[in-house]
Structure 1
């Protein structure tokens, strides 16, 4: 079985690391020649797509692929993968396409519990994601699965490391909650989505949405240090992108992920995830 991955980012790389043995050949795209040279492996062919150009061999890899994983974000002009290869993907023999989206596509529900049927709304980057999902469904039809990911953390990317680097902040916005998801649980969800006989839309998130400052406090407790002081959201110096994450407050359920795809989360809350990372040497 041949896998094609558009966008070898953090989550896609983790999926490959854990499931490379499931495939006879894996092709993944990177944006720069530097990354192409650094990551090449025995069972992993890296081709350029994006920043430094598009490799002509991609057309052949699309024609040969059985499965397609897409983690390239959309831009102001739409989804770049579909812009370049939409017609070829539509006509290909690829039997399942898994598109990594975000729970940020949901409208604000004021901290209420929502599932995959909740209304979508947003502007800027969130609107781009909503539009990209629609474009993939229009192109691939019943082959296209949407995995809507919560805030991603895992090895090399977590509150423990941020605390150690002095960059963690406890920004407080009353009523604000977020879901999170460990990258290993994303890898499990991708594998389950590929194996499932039908396409669908699934939230990939943990069991316990929580205020962001609580996660920082828990990480500081593991490390045996004092947490940074709380900062009111209105007073916090934040980039426009960082501030946009606070535009909605939702509690997303993962019931369908468990029931339909049979995914048993290795890290059902941030406590199990951060605890395992701390024991593994993160932040020390």
Structure 2
């Protein structure tokens, strides 16, 4: 049976999700402040999640909501505007009687520092930065709403159009700690989109999933591998990115639900992106 799905905050990842949903016969609405002008099967909705007055004309009888906005700026107020206020606004604007499931795209940034330890859905969140703190607050609020909710905590995404790390390595602007192990976690953007579609369709899902590939890597191993792929020198020794924390993310629960990745190792995924 097809669903009537609203993707709230439909950027690059959301468009990939929309295409997959359309292929399986779902009716897809996509909300964005400034929708593209292309005329395709995606039914675009022009609205601002942080402005309730723009949400009064949302389509009726939405059965599933995929919530994946992007803040306008990397600052606490911008994050709260979309992840706290915007989430409340869109849920108040939708028909509660029709809405069966909300999938909230969160971040592995809610976990913080765990050194070499494996981290999964049972690991208590302890976000070190404001972004993870806001997302964790939104997760907790959503879990108390009278609708089935699924949270997908995504690791760092890469893929076509998402190769900023490679550009930084090529420009000699990246560094990584070589004497102290710091774990990097990645997921190909197409695998992330497929995971969202999988969880929207999953019968009796669990409330939280970690979205990451099968192969966490030490940061210097990943960076030096990418440098070799593009013929650049190994990256300089230096501190890991601030406010993220080292951890090895496990996707065991997601794989146990029946999901299969196309790109289980980011080294192969990056290599394919660079070839194409």
Give the alignment's TM-score, normalised by structure 1: 0.82
User: 1: CA distance between counterparts of 2:144 and 2:149?
Assistant: 9
C-alpha spacing 1:84/1:231, structure 2 compared with 1 (3 Å): same
Map Cα deviations across residues 74-108 of structure 1 (whole Å, 9 max, x no partner).
73365133332333447241222111001111142
The correspondence of residues 231-250 of structure 1 with structure 2, limited to 5 A, is 231-233=237-239, 243-245=242-244, 248-250=245-247
Conservation of the 8 A alpha-carbon contact between 1:178 and 1:251 = yes
Q: Which residue of 2 aligns with 1:103?
A: 108
Q: Which residue of 2 aligns with 1:199?
A: 205
Q: CA deviation at 1:52?
A: 9.5
Conservation of the 8 A alpha-carbon contact between 1:168 and 1:216 = no
Instruction: Name which of 44, 47, 50 aligns with 1:49.
Output: 47
2:260 maps to 1:270: no
3-state SS of 1:28 partner: strand
User: 2: CA distance between counterparts of 1:140 and 1:9?
Assistant: 27
Q: Which residue of 1 aligns with 2:79?
A: 75
C-alpha spacing 1:82/1:156, structure 2 compared with 1 (3 Å): closer
Give the alignment's TM-score, normalised by structure 2: 0.84
User: 1: CA distance between counterparts of 2:94 and 2:50?
Assistant: 22
Query: Which structure: greater helix fraction?
Result: 1
Deviates more, 1:79-88 or 1:117-126: 79-88
Q: CA deviation at 1:121?
A: 1.1
C-alpha spacing 1:15/1:231, structure 2 compared with 1 (3 Å): same
Q: CA deviation at 1:271?
A: 1.3
User: 1: CA distance between counterparts of 2:193 and 2:159?
Assistant: 11
C-alpha spacing 1:57/1:250, structure 2 compared with 1 (3 Å): closer
Unaligned runs of 5+ in 2: 71-77
Q: Which residue of 1 aligns with 2:187?
A: 181
Aligned length: 262
User: 2: CA distance between counterparts of 1:253 and 1:52?
Assistant: 33
Q: CA deviation at 1:59?
A: 4.3
User: 2: CA distance between counterparts of 1:60 and 1:177?
Assistant: 42
Q: What is the RMSD computed on CA atoms of the aligned residues?
A: 2.6
Map Cα deviations across residues 115-137 of structure 1 (whole Å, 9 max, x no partner).
10001112411110100011111
